[in-house]
Amino acid sequence: MSVLIRRIPAQGISPLSSPAPRGTILPPYPQRAVRGSLFETCSNPGCASGWLHLWRSRTAPFVEGGWTCSAACTAQRLQAAVARELDGRGGIVETHRHRVPLGLLMLEHGWITAAQLRGALASQREQGSGRLGQWLVAREGVPERLVTRALGLQWSCPVLPLEAHDPEGLAPLLPRLFLDAFGALPLRVAAGRLVYLGFEDRLDPVLALALERISGLRVESGLVQGSLFQPAHARMLQCDFPPVELLEAASAPALVTALTRRIERMRPLDTRMVRVHDCLWVRLWTAPQNGPVPDRAAVQDILCTIASQ
C-alpha cells in the first residue's frame, strides 16, 4: 500500500481540536431504505439545481447521512470529505508520549528481578528480534499475565477477556486488511452501543477512532493476553468479511472522480469516509442496518490510497 501521508512515529495521541463529548457526535447507522421525503433537500451546500431537484425522482445515494440530487453534488460532498480527512480534521494527530519502559515498570512492581530483566535483555540482543515481554516469558519463566498487566499499565488501558468470542458475527465491523495490518481483534459488542477492540501488545488509537466514526459505536480498546490473542486473531482472519475494493488514485481529484462513479452506480443508503493511517476507508451501506453490527451483505468497503501525496 503506498504512502498517503507521511506517518509520524507515534507513541501516543492527542485530539486535534476539542471534540464534542463522547456519544453525542455519532450519527446512527442508516436504517431507512429511501429518501425520507419528497421534499428532502440536497445535502450539498453548493448545490446549483435549486428547487428543480425536488422533481428528481432518485431516492439515493446518501453521502455521510445526506441525500445528493446529482452526480455533481455527490462529487462535491466527496471532495469536501476527502479534503477534511487529508487535513486531519476528522481524526487525531499522533504525538509522542513518554512511556515507562516495560522492564523498569515490572521491576518497580516487583514482578521481575534485576537478573531476569538482564537475562531477557541479553536474549533479545543476541537474537536481534522479539519483544522484551516475550523473552521474559520464554526464557525467564515470568508469567504471561504479569507481562500483559504491565503492558496495560504502560498503555493506561484495561486487559480485556476473550470469552464467548464470535468472530463470524463481528467480522463486518472492520476490513480484514486492517485486522491483519494493525493487529486488531474486535472482541464483543456490549449493550448495542459499545465495542471492545483488543490488541496484543500495543494499542492503535487511530484505528479505534476510525472504527468509532464508521460504526457509530463507542470503542473501548484494551490488551488481550498474547497466548489467547494469537489463535483468536488467526481464527478471525479465516472468517468471511464484507466485499472490499482496493483503490489507488493518482491524486485527490482522481480519487473523488473514481468514488463518485462507484457511488452513483451503487446508490448506497449511506457512505462514510474516515482516514486510517495512510489510507482512506470508505464504507457503503447497500441495505439498511438492523443492529449494531451490519450484515456482511449490507456493506461494502473501499480502501483508498493516493499515490502523489
CA atoms within 13 A on the CB side of 137: 14
CB of 257 vs Zn ion, minimal distance in Å: 17
CB of 261 vs Zn ion, minimal distance in Å: 17
Choose among 292, 119, 297: nearest CA to 215.
292
**Which grid cell is 7?**
506517518
- Residue 44 engages Zn ion in binding (rule: CB under 5 A): yes
CB of 196 vs Zn ion, minimal distance in Å: 40
Q: Give the residue with the Cβ less far from Zn ion, 73 or 219.
A: 73
Range 258-297, binding Zn ion (CB under 5 A)? none
Contacts 24+ apart (CB under 8 A), 258-262: 259/78, 259/302, 259/304, 260/71, 260/74, 260/75, 260/78, 262/302
Q: SS3 breakdown of the chain: % helix, strand, coil, rounded to 5?
A: 40, 20, 40
| Whole-number Å distance between alpha carbons of 188 and 186 | 6
CB of 68 vs Zn ion, minimal distance in Å: 6
- Residue 195 engages Zn ion in binding (rule: CB under 5 A): no
Q: Give the residue with the Cβ less far from Zn ion, 267 or 296.
A: 267
Q: Give the residue with the Cβ less far from Zn ion, 47 or 302.
A: 47
CB of 84 vs Zn ion, minimal distance in Å: 19
Q: What is the DSSP letter of 52?
A: G
CB of 256 vs Zn ion, minimal distance in Å: 16
Q: Give the residue with the Cβ less far from Zn ion, 41 or 238.
A: 41
| Whole-number Å distance between alpha carbons of 233 and 258 | 33
Piece of the chain touching Zn ion by CB under 5 A; list 56-64, 72-80, 236-244, 253-261: 72-80
- Residue 69 engages Zn ion in binding (rule: CB under 5 A): yes
Q: What is the DSSP letter of 285?
A: E
Piece of the chain touching Zn ion by CB under 5 A; list 45-53, 131-139, 176-184, 233-241: 45-53
β-pair partners for 62: 67
SS3 174: coil
Report the phi/psi class of residue 16: left, alpha or beta, with left for phi > 0 and alpha for psi in -120 to 50.
Answer: alpha
Piece of the chain touching Zn ion by CB under 5 A; list 8-16, 61-69, 107-115, 299-307: 61-69
- Residue 73 engages Zn ion in binding (rule: CB under 5 A): yes
Helices in the chain by DSSP H: which ranges?
71-87, 102-108, 114-127, 132-140, 144-155, 167-170, 176-182, 205-215, 226-237, 252-266
CB of 78 vs Zn ion, minimal distance in Å: 13
Size of the site for Zn ion (CB under 5 A): 5
- Residue 173 engages Zn ion in binding (rule: CB under 5 A): no
Q: Give the residue with the Cβ less far from Zn ion, 73 or 112.
A: 73
**Residue numbers at the binding site for Zn ion (CB under 5 A):** 42, 44, 47, 69, 73
